[in-house]
Amino acid sequence: MKIIGTGSALPKKVVSNEALSDFFETNDEWITQRTGIKTRRIITDERFEDIATEAAARAIDNAGLCPDDIDYIICSNVSNLYITPHLSSIIQGNLGIKGPQCPTFDVNSACVGFVYALDLCDALISTGRAHHILLVAAEECTRFCDWSDRNCSVLFGDGAGAVVLGAGEGFKLCHLTSTPMPDVIVYRNPMEATPFERGEGIDTHHALEMKGREVFRMAVTSAVRDIRQITEDAGLSLDNIDHFLLHQANLRINEAIRDNLRQPEEKFPTNVQRYGNTSSASIPLLLDEGVHEGRIKRGDTILMSAFGAGFVTGTAIIKY
Ligand code: UT7
């Protein structure tokens, strides 16, 4: 499998750290020092599915294909407006792909969904069951936040990244892990209460809850472990990697990983300062930016590494 096209899309509204102090007690200094985040994009008068579709359309165009060339669509998200239908079938409709010979399904592996889905795409393409897969990672994380609680709301932003995948020699190795720790990052389903309980007026309002410090520690430890392991398994040294595309949750997490690996800063592109944590969209957004700005070139070796709720991690090495 190889990546043949990339695309991304973001909501128009840019929200600064200063603007968040309208909602709760916080300030630019605290957010910048602890996370590196300065602004985030938030969906307001747009629709989530349109942002996802725009990223998808750009990736198809960048691949030099038309929507009908796509024969499989997979979407990574945890924030689709509907529990069903899944977002990839909505994107299919928006792109005008009539089907029926174009299966669609969604993946929920939180912030690692894009890397998990890449591994699935490789299985489908290498066995000839799909020729051109559209993989979209689209997230509206700000919908999960309690906008009266400063702990989580300052961290997240909305956005979408997409790739088109086809047969080729690009995908070198993938290493996925899962360690059951169900309480470190949690977003409960609003349907959790039974209809009877809802009838009794039980509060079913839920927002994202996170054990920030624990996640921080696990993120650094697991990323360093996974990155060292996968490069060794691939018979590469860290110096052979041209770009480290790390999940963008917190600049300090990524600096700690980089310091441990002793690799130069220019190999670690970032966008968390501008977009906040866009969950599984953060890596394909970085990829698309790097490609369009000419920093990521054909033949470069890319290492992707993400961590997220579960606790899951995913690391992949790809020749672009
Ligand atoms: O993809 C999802 C992955 N999630 C993550 O990657 C999150 C990983 N964790 C982190 O990034 C950090 O733990 C945070 C940025 C979430 C928090 O940083 P921290 O250094 O661990 O701070 P803390 O939670 O220990 O809070 C320190 C202080 C507390 O005040 P006291 O108790 O010391 O008086 C908080 O109440 O900072 C306070 N605080 C805030 N102050 C201003 C918490 N949030 C804010 C805020 N503005 N937004």
Q: 117 and 194 in one domain?
A: no
Angle, to 10 degrees, between the axis of helix 87-95 and the axis of helix 48-62?
60
Look at residue 149 in the predicted model and tell me its pLDDT: 86
Which tokens is 278 given? 């866009």
Look at residue 194 in the predicted model and tell me its pLDDT: 65
Look at residue 203 in the predicted model and tell me its pLDDT: 60
- Give the full edge-to-edge strand order of the sheet including 171-181: 171-181, 310-319, 301-308, 243-246
- What residues are paired with 40 via a beta bridge? 15
Cβ–ligand 1 distance for 277 under 6 Å, the answer yes
User: Ligand 1 atom closest to Cα of 111?
Assistant: 1
Cβ–ligand 1 distance for 151 under 6 Å, the answer yes
- For residues 47 and 25, give the distance between their C-alpha atoms in angstroms, rounded to a whole number: 29
Look at residue 64 in the predicted model and tell me its pLDDT: 98
Q: 150 and 104 in one domain?
A: yes
Q: 21 and 155 in one domain?
A: yes
Instruction: Give the residue-averaged pLDDT of 22-37.
Output: 95
* Closest alpha carbon to 219 in 242, 241, 251: 251
CATH number for the domain that contains residue 279: 3.40.47.10
111 is a catalytic site residue:
yes
Q: How many domains does the chain have?
A: 2
Per-residue pLDDT band at 309 (split at 50, 70, 90): very high
Instruction: Exactly one of 75, 102, 111, 174 is catalytic; name it.
Output: 111
How many A from CA of 150 to the centre of ligand 1? 9
Q: 208 and 80 in one domain?
A: no
pLDDT, tens digit (0-9, with 9 covering 90-100), for 154-197: 999 999 999 999 999 999 999 999 999 999 999 887 766 666 66
Q: 240 and 129 in one domain?
A: no
Instruction: Give the residue-averaged pLDDT of 33-58.
Output: 97
Q: 28 and 137 in one domain?
A: yes
- What residues are paired with 143 via a beta bridge? none
Q: 203 and 56 in one domain?
A: no
Cβ–ligand 1 distance for 282 under 6 Å, the answer no
Cβ–ligand 1 distance for 251 under 6 Å, the answer no
**Exposed, middle or buried by CB within 10 Å (0-12, 13-18, 19+), for 290?**
buried
Looking at 139, 169, 199, the residue that finishes a domain is 169
Among 20, 22, 27, 34, which is best to mutate for testing ligand 1, by the most ligand atoms less than 8 A from CB? 34
277 is a catalytic site residue:
yes
How many A from CA of 212 to the centre of ligand 1? 6
Decide if pLDDT at 202 tops 70. Answer: no
Cβ–ligand 1 distance for 150 under 6 Å, the answer yes
- For residues 176 and 107, give the distance between their C-alpha atoms in angstroms, rounded to a whole number: 14
Q: 165 and 180 in one domain?
A: no
Pairing state of beta strands 72-76 and 133-140? parallel
Among 31, 35, 213, which is best to mutate for testing ligand 1, by the most ligand atoms less than 8 A from CB? 213
Q: 149 and 15 in one domain?
A: yes
* Closest alpha carbon to 56 in 40, 73, 41, 81: 73
Domain hosting 98: range is 2-169
Look at residue 146 in the predicted model and tell me its pLDDT: 86
Q: For tokens 């700005």, what's the residue?
A: 293
Decide if pLDDT at 205 tops 70. Answer: no
pTM, two decimals, is 0.95
Cβ–ligand 1 distance for 34 under 6 Å, the answer yes
Q: 86 or 195, which is more confident?
A: 86
pLDDT, tens digit (0-9, with 9 covering 90-100), for 243-296: 999 999 999 999 999 999 999 999 999 999 999 999 999 999 999 999 999 999
Cβ–ligand 1 distance for 205 under 6 Å, the answer no
Burial 227-251 (b: 16+ CB within 10 A, else e): beebbeebebeeeebbbbbbbbbbb
Kindly report the three-state secondary structure assignment for every residue of 225-248. HHHHHHHHHCCCCHHHCCEEEECC
Instruction: Exactly one of 132, 175, 243, 247 is catalytic; name it.
Output: 247
Query: Phi, psi (5° rounding) for residue 15?
Result: -115, 120
Look at residue 196 in the predicted model and tell me its pLDDT: 65
Q: What is the mean pLDDT of the chain?
A: 95
- For residues 221 and 272, give the distance between their C-alpha atoms in angstroms, rounded to a whole number: 20
Q: 152 and 36 in one domain?
A: yes
pLDDT, tens digit (0-9, with 9 covering 90-100), for 128-162: 999 999 999 999 999 988 888 899 999 999 999 99
189 is a catalytic site residue:
no
How many A from CA of 95 to the centre of ligand 1? 40
Looking at 169, 186, 219, the residue that finishes a domain is 169
- For residues 142 and 152, give the distance between their C-alpha atoms in angstroms, rounded to a whole number: 9
**Distance set, CA 245 to CA 14, 195, 287 (Å):** 23, 44, 7
**Distance set, CA 292 to CA 59, 70, 115, 289 (Å):** 11, 22, 21, 5
Cβ–ligand 1 distance for 249 under 6 Å, the answer yes
Q: 155 and 183 in one domain?
A: no
Q: 200 and 148 in one domain?
A: no
Among 20, 23, 216, which is best to mutate for testing ligand 1, by the most ligand atoms less than 8 A from CB? 216
Looking at 152, 169, 186, the residue that finishes a domain is 169
Cβ–ligand 1 distance for 316 under 6 Å, the answer no
The residues, any chain, with a CB within 8 Å of residue 199's CB and separated by 6 or more, are none
Decide if pLDDT at 30 tops 80. Answer: yes
